Homo-oligomer: A and B are copies of this chain.
Amino acid sequence: MAKADSNDSPQSSAQVAREVARLILTGVWREGTTLPREIELASRFDVSRASIREALSLLKAKGLIVSRQKAGTHVRSRIDWNMLDEELLNWTLSELPTQEFAQQLLEIRRIVEPEACAICAVRGSDEDFARIERAYRGMDAAGLDRLAYAEPDLQFHRGILIATGNDFLIAFGATVAAALRMSFNLSTQNPGAPRKSLPYHRAVLDAIWARNPDRARQAMIKLMDLTEQNIILALSRQRKKDAEEDNARTRRAR
Contact = CB atoms under 8 A, between A and B. Distances in A.
A84 B88 CA distance: 13
Nearest to A119: B107
Contacts of A175: 168
A130 interface: no
A86 B105 CA distance: 20
A253 to B, nearest CB: 36
B84 A171 contact: yes
Interface size class of A (residues with CB under 8 A): 35 or more
A63 B107 CA distance: 25
Contacts of A169: 107-108
Interface string A92-125: 0000000001001101100110011001000000
Interface of A: 13, 50, 53-54, 57-63, 78-79, 81-87, 101, 104-105, 107-108, 111-112, 115-116, 119, 158, 162, 166-175
